[in-house]
Amino acid sequence: MQLLKARLPEWVQDWLDVIIPGSQILLILVVAWLLQRTLRRLVRRASAHYQLPDELLVPINGLIRWLIIASALLLVLERMGVSATVLWTAFTGFATVGAVAFFAAWSVLSNLFCAMLIFVAQPLRLGDAITQTLQALGWQTTIQDFTYRDTPARNILAHRAAVSAAGPTPGPTRSSARRPVVLLGAHYDTRLYADNDPDVSRRDEPVPGANDGASGVAVLLELARSLDAAAIGDDIWLAFFDAEDNGRINGWEFIAGSRFMAQNLPMPTKPEVVIVVDMIGDADQQIYLERNSDEKYQQQLWQIAARLGFETVFIPQPKWTMVDDHIPFKEAGIPAVDIIDFDYPYWHTTQDTTDKLSGDSLERVGRVLEVWLEETR
């Protein structure tokens, strides 16, 4: 290297002392940036495959980022001529500060440890809150486990116990097996990445899913509490679909959970009709007719809504053509309706939070379904 340097012009030799360290520093920064992006993608793929909880992903990504930044900073300082002794002294100083910060942030770290413990020990399973709520309300629940693209998933079903003069009888009876089956459904999963977020830097974050997922679940759980089983002649089933909302991510398709259920119906007889509720909690609620839905049952529901005074919300005009959880049942020859308010500006963004919703919107949809079941079924 010295022999090559001696052969260069003097003005070039003067600049070499700047160019070489500068190039090395630039290379360190580029490698650090590429390494961070690569590791972040690997963590994202691992989380999608193993269904890692969001509480675990955030600290993992943060730890990776800060380790790479700290390592790159130390290498840059070394290239700038800072001695190893100084670097070691700085490192031990930072380690001491880190230890103090560790104890100061113990509550946060304990939550992280608990999240890891829950993930490893799995004392709770996906959807347990739904099944426990339904069971407490007297519904019989069934879990429909399946695997989609090497990822475990589970649909949840609930069946209302048959009502007789002697009281409720657990499970489907011979008489209930002959009664027409009505299936009400909603998906309970949320999208892994907010790829529609206006802030590009937040598109790797998960969607909270207050409206796109949770609103439909909330309505079905309230119906499970309030329905008058004695006033309904049909056999009522509730379905909570998994794997609905991650289409176009890692090769996934939309509505995987409902498609599996439509191909593996768990009830004794084929449903007479399927009603799906999705994204129905928007405070600015506008529910139009959906073009892939059964017109006969749409008309029944929208007429009841008008009679209840909801004609400005249940708008009897077609607007959307949706690929939603009703489609697999329609393809199986079962009449199906999608009640959906797709005029929602926070769809697939990090802003899909509860402050955008209204209890009145949820109540309107639930009331329409309740009256429809009690008067027409």
Whether residue 317 contacts residue 290, with contact meaning beta carbons closer than 8 Å, is answered with: no
94 and 11 inside one domain: yes
286 and 158 inside one domain: yes
Domain boundary among 65, 93, 121: 121
Number of C-beta neighbours around residue 67 at 10 A: 13
Whether residue 114 contacts residue 135, with contact meaning beta carbons closer than 8 Å, is answered with: no
292 and 346 inside one domain: yes
Q: Which residue has the higher pLDDT, 335 or 90?
A: 335
What is the percent of the chain where pLDDT is above 70?
80
Q: Which of 38, 22, 347, 68 is nearest to 196 (CA)?
A: 347
Tokens of 372: 């429809």
How far apart CA 224 and CA 242 sit, in angstroms, is 19
Tokens of 39: 């590791």
Tokens of 196: 């529609």
Interval 2-28: pLDDT, tens? 555 555 556 555 666 667 778 888 888
Report the SS3 class of residue 196. coil
What is the 3 state secondary structure string of 13-44?
HHHHHHHHHHHHHHHHHHHHHHHHHHHHHHHH
The number of folded domains in the chain is: 2
Which pTM was predicted? 0.69
Domain boundary among 96, 121, 146: 121
Interval 251-305: pLDDT, tens? 999 999 999 999 999 888 999 999 999 999 999 999 999 999 999 999 999 999 9
Q: Assess whether pLDDT exceeds 90 at residue 203.
A: yes
Q: Assess whether pLDDT exceeds 80 at residue 1.
A: no
174 and 283 inside one domain: yes
192 and 328 inside one domain: yes
269 and 307 inside one domain: yes
CATH number of 53's domain: 1.10.287.1260
155 and 62 inside one domain: no
CATH number of 335's domain: 3.40.630.10
Whether residue 283 contacts residue 361, with contact meaning beta carbons closer than 8 Å, is answered with: yes
Domain boundary among 76, 103, 121: 121
79 and 163 inside one domain: no
Q: Which residue has the higher pLDDT, 125 or 278?
A: 278
60 and 19 inside one domain: yes
Tokens of 212: 């796109």
Interval 147-192: pLDDT, tens? 999 999 999 999 975 454 444 444 444 344 467 899 999 999 999 9
Among 86-90, 100-104, 239-243, top mean pLDDT goes to 239-243
HSE, side-chain direction, 13 A CA sphere, residue 139: 29
Q: Assess whether pLDDT exceeds 50 at residue 96.
A: yes
Q: Assess whether pLDDT exceeds 70 at residue 331.
A: yes
Average pLDDT over residues 92-100: 72
Residue-number span of the structural domain to which 316 is assigned: 128-376
107 and 255 inside one domain: no
The identity of residue 240, as a single letter, is F
Number of C-beta neighbours around residue 56 at 10 A: 16
The dihedral region occupied by 255, where left means phi > 0, alpha psi between -120 and 50, and beta the remainder, is left
Q: Assess whether pLDDT exceeds 60 at residue 375.
A: yes
143 and 32 inside one domain: no
Number of C-beta neighbours around residue 219 at 10 A: 26
75 and 139 inside one domain: no
Q: Assess whether pLDDT exceeds 80 at residue 110.
A: no
